[in-house]
């Protein structure tokens, strides 16, 4: 599904190397978690995969379903099935949430040569999805994320994911700032999308989320590299002992 080889990334504006040789393969049907200290490059990895400006790839490659990702525009990557739930979702004043979702879905369908969804069909479709995330119709009418609470913004990211039905879902600290109930809703939203044809990359600081979203593989990232890969027990080890021993080992 996703294959990253020896990925080196620096900032465009400064001579600062952030990713220093990331190797990572996410298979279809699997959930991979990435944990790691602040500043280790987890968000940078997700941004570079999604196509955000401001980074130079100096070495290595990343492919989605065998196609080179890094030379595509962000919207091409999205149409190809890549989705990023952002750590800090942005507010978009003046753009209704429903319009945003329908436009995103239909432009992806168009890019893939599929039939677009009518307004009436979309309305039914999105209301159903929103209901499972306990988001009322009024949140669909408001401008994207404007005035949403932290938890509502994160749920709105999961709603986008549910609507777009991506192939590879990257969640960047979707659990941070969530109360227990919201965390459960978000986890259920993720678990509902788990499927043999879909892969997940879940970036998190906490075991808590991984109690709900059981990962197949756990990676520890530090200083721009994956320093250790293991099973779910690795997340428990971090929860109990922190990163010091793993950093020492690396
Ligand atoms: P993480 O998500 O693991 O906490 P980030 O990917 O956000 O880490 O950041 C990795 C490192 O790169 C940090 O030291 C951060 O300060 C630095 N960094 C990322 N983007 C920028 C930027 N635009 N300007 C300066 N430093 C940056
Ligand atoms: Mg981050």
Q: Check whether 7 has a pLDDT greater than 90.
A: yes
121 C-alpha to ligand 2 centroid (Å): 36
47 C-alpha to ligand 2 centroid (Å): 10
pLDDT at 181: 87
220-241 pLDDT, tens digit per residue, is: 999 999 999 999 999 999 989 9
Nearest CA to ligand 1 atom 11: 39
- Residue 163 is inside which H or E element, if any? helix 150-164
> Pocket of ligand 1, candidates 13, 14, 15, 16: which has the most ligand atoms within 8 Å of its Cβ, to mutate?
16
Structure letter (DSSP) for residue 196: T
The percent of residues in the chain predicted with pLDDT above 70, rounded, is 100
Confidence at 206, pLDDT banded by 50, 70, 90: confident
Q: Check whether 250 has a pLDDT greater than 90.
A: no
pLDDT at 116: 96
48-83 pLDDT, tens digit per residue, is: 999 999 999 999 999 999 999 999 999 999 999 999
Nearest CA to ligand 1 atom 19: 44
- Tell which atom from ligand 1 comes closest to the C-alpha of 173: 2
CA distances from 112 to 14, 75, 150 (A): 37, 12, 33
CA distances from 221 to 145, 217, 239, 246 (A): 30, 13, 15, 10
For 112-145, give the DSSP string.
TTPPPPPHHHHHHHHHHHHHHTT--HHHHHSEET
89 C-alpha to ligand 2 centroid (Å): 12
Nearest CA to ligand 1 atom 20: 44
CA distance 228 to 135: 38
Nearest CA to ligand 1 atom 24: 11
42 C-alpha to ligand 2 centroid (Å): 5
Nearest ligand, CA 40: 1
Nearest ligand, CA 36: 1
Contact 189, 157 (CB under 8 A): no
pLDDT at 118: 95
13-40 pLDDT, tens digit per residue, is: 999 999 999 999 999 999 999 999 999 9
pLDDT at 68: 97
CA distance 177 to 169: 20
121-150 pLDDT, tens digit per residue, is: 999 999 999 998 888 889 999 999 999 998
Confidence at 162, pLDDT banded by 50, 70, 90: very high
Nearest CA to ligand 1 atom 5: 41
The distance of Cα 90 from the centroid of its chain, to the nearest Å, equals: 14
pLDDT at 177: 82
Confidence at 208, pLDDT banded by 50, 70, 90: confident
- Residue 109 is inside which H or E element, if any? helix 97-111
Q: Check whether 182 has a pLDDT greater than 90.
A: no
Q: Check whether 167 has a pLDDT greater than 90.
A: yes
- Tell which atom from ligand 1 comes closest to the C-alpha of 54: 23
Protein residues within 5 Å, CB atom, of ion ligand 2: 42-43
Beta carbons within 8 Å of 204's beta carbon, 6+ residues apart: 33, 34, 35, 171, 173, 174, 175, 210
Nearest ligand, CA 49: 1
pLDDT at 173: 92
């Amino acid at each position: 599904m996703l294959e990253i080889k020896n990925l080196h990334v620096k900032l465009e504006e400064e001579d600062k190397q952030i990713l220093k040789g990331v190797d990572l393969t996410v298979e279809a049907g699997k959930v991979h978690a990435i944990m790691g200290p602040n500043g280790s490059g987890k968000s940078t990895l997700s941004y570079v995969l999604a196509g955000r400006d401001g980074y130079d790839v100096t070495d290595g490659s990343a492919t989605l379903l065998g196609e080179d990702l890094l030379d595509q525009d962000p919207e091409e990557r999205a149409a190809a099935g890549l989705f990023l739930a952002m750590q800090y979702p942005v507010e978009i004043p003046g753009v209704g949430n429903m319009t945003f979702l329908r436009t995103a879905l239909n432009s992806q369908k168009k890019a893939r040569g599929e039939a677009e969804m009518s307004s009436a069909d979309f309305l039914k479709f999105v209301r159903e999805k929103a209901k499972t995330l306990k988001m009322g119709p009024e949140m669909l009418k408001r401008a994207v994320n404007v005035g949403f609470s932290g938890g509502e913004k994160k749920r709105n990211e999961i709603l986008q994911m549910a609507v777009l039905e991506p192939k590879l879902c990257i969640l960047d600290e979707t659990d941070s700032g969530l109360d227990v109930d919201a965390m459960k809703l978000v986890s259920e939203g993720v678990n509902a999308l788990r499927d043999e044809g879909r892969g997940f990359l879940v970036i998190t600081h906490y075991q808590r989320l991984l109690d709900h979203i059981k990962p197949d593989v756990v990676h520890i990232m530090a200083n721009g590299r994956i320093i250790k890969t293991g099973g779910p027990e690795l997340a428990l080890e971090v929860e109990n002992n922190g990163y010091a021993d793993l950093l020492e080992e690396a």
